[in-house]
Structures are given as C-alpha cells and as structure tokens.
C-alpha cells in the first residue's frame, strides 16, 4: 500500500487500525533488558566482566547512527583483547572491530541497545560525574563479584611483584593494584572485594592495594595476571 501511494511506510503504518507488529531486528533481539525472550544474560559471568572493563577503560559514544562501545586494551596483552571481544559478542554485539591505536587496541562494537546495558554512560569523564549501578546491575555483580573484579583489574589494575627491604633483609611478594580517579568506581571495586572477602588498603588517594597472602590467593583464582 505504501508503494502504491508513494508514501512512507511509517505513515501508512500509523493509519492502520490493526497495525502489524514491528519486526525486532539487530541488537534488540539480544538485549536482555528489552527482549522478553532473552530476559537474562546467557552467561552470568560475562556481563559483570564486561561492565568492569567498561568502567575502567571503556567509553560509550551515543552520537551518530548507532551507539558505539569502545574499550581501550593495552596492545601488550593480546589475550585481554581476545577476552574483551568475546565478552562483547556474548553480551550483545553481532560484530566487533579492533582498531589499532598508539600503545593500545580499541575494541569497538556498535549497537542501538548498548545504552540499555550500560546506563552509566553520559557526557564528560567518569570521575567528573556520579557512577551508580542500577539495581539489576548490582544483583548481577553481587552474584559474580569475581568476574566484575576481573574486569576492573584487567582494565585499570595489575598484578605486580613487590620488593621491599626490612632490617637489611629483602622480601619479594606479589600484590594487586587498582587505580581509578573516580571515587564511585573505586567504591565499587572495594564493594566487590568485600564480597570476595579480600582485604585491601588505599596506598594512595586514587590507588588500592591487595597485598596479604590470602587475599592475593583469592584474586589469583578470580583475576590472575594480564596476558
């Protein structure tokens, strides 16, 4: 009818009394916030991990034809780049691009429904605006805090070997560090570590340290070194 009248399809669709249901296409088919058929992440571990990566080194650009999720991964860690791409594909993306940049690789995916799954997006830098998880996000993270912590440490954290000398004797031990300028994101990291029973301390105003042997052992099980 629209072709016969040379009118836009949407105009004719609004005229109809018995309107046909709009086809569900693209990322709408996979968005567990919008599609009743999905309803919940296929893999409960992947979303908290991707959320951690996004809060650390991610950015959601909503200008243009479709929102674009970009996560900057250090080029020195190819496995981290693979894990980031796999997480995007598992959560929502149909296609992921790797764009080499100076010192890093930007893992990118466009999709109309990324803002549904990452409501923390907004103008400006993350540390200059509030970062608060929605209730449904807190529930997913609380169920898998180790995966959320892994995403945070894989983005803005590291596992290092610490060397200290006390009373003329040298000591070498591993520890984890997480740094972020956002007090809210730092608080989320502290919350996740508390759920895991991991002891931590602030070694600088923007840096968190996990150094006790038993705490490092827990993070080794959930996070591990980047590679």
- How many CB atoms neighbour CB 85 within 10 A? 20
pLDDT-based confidence at 24, cuts 50/70/90?
very low
Q: What is the pLDDT of residue 52?
A: 98
Burial 167-182 (b: 16+ CB within 10 A, else e): eeeeeeebbbbbbbeb
Asked if residue 68 belongs to a domain, the reply is: yes
Domain extent at residue 193: 29-222
Q: What percentage of the chain exceeds 90 in pLDDT?
A: 69
The answer to whether residue 7 scores a pLDDT higher than 70 is yes
Q: Specify the pTM.
A: 0.85
Asked if residue 13 belongs to a domain, the reply is: no
As beta bridge partners, residue 110 has 68
pLDDT-based confidence at 25, cuts 50/70/90?
very low
CA distance 161 to 9: 63
Asked if residue 14 belongs to a domain, the reply is: no
Asked if residue 17 belongs to a domain, the reply is: no
Structural tokens at position 137: 């996000």
Q: What is the pLDDT of residue 27?
A: 67
Q: Which residue has the tokens 């890093």?
A: 104
Asked if residue 12 belongs to a domain, the reply is: no
The answer to whether residue 215 scores a pLDDT higher than 70 is yes
Q: Name residues whose C-beta falls within 8 Å of residue 116's C-beta, 6 or more positions apart in sequence.
A: 31, 33, 34
Asked if residue 6 belongs to a domain, the reply is: no
Q: Rounded to a whole number, what is the largest CA-CA distance in the chain?
A: 91
Side-chain half-sphere exposure of 119, counting CA atoms within 13 A: 9
CATH of the domain at 39: 3.10.28.10
pLDDT tens readout for residues 110-142: 999 999 999 999 988 999 999 999 999 999 999
Asked if residue 3 belongs to a domain, the reply is: no
pLDDT tens readout for residues 158-210: 999 988 777 777 778 899 999 999 999 999 999 999 999 999 999 999 999 99
CA distance 22 to 80: 38
> What angle is formed at CA 104 by the lines to CA 138 and CA 72, rounded to 5 degrees?
20
Asked if residue 16 belongs to a domain, the reply is: no
Between 78-82, 137-141, 222-226, the lowest mean confidence (pLDDT) is in: 222-226
Give the H/E segment covering residue 173: strand 169-179
Q: How many domains does the chain have?
A: 1
Mean pLDDT across the chain: 90
């Amino acid at each position: 009818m629209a072709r016969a009248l040379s009118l836009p399809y949407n105009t004719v669709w609004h005229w109809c009394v018995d309107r046909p249901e709009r086809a569900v296409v693209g990322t709408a088919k996979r968005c567990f916030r919008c599609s009743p058929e999905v309803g919940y992440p296929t893999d409960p571990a992947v979303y908290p991990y991707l959320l951690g990566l996004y809060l650390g080194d991610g950015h959601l650009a909503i200008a243009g034809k479709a929102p674009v999720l970009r996560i900057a991964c250090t080029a020195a860690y190819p496995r981290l780049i693979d894990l980031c791409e796999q997480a995007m594909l598992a959560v929502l993306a149909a296609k992921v691009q790797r764009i080499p940049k100076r010192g890093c690789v930007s893992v990118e995916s466009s999709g109309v429904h990324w803002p549904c799954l990452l409501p923390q997006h907004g103008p400006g830098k993350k540390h200059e605006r509030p970062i608060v998880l929605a209730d449904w996000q807190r529930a997913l993270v609380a169920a898998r805090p180790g995966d959320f912590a892994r995403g945070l440490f894989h983005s803005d954290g590291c596992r290092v070997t610490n060397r200290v000398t006390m009373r003329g004797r040298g000591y070498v031990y591993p520890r984890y560090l997480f740094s972020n300028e956002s007090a809210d994101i730092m608080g989320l990291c502290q919350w996740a570590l508390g759920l895991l029973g991991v002891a931590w301390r602030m070694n600088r105003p923007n840096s968190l340290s996990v150094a006790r042997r038993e705490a490092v052992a827990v993070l080794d099980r959930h996070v591990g070194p980047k590679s």
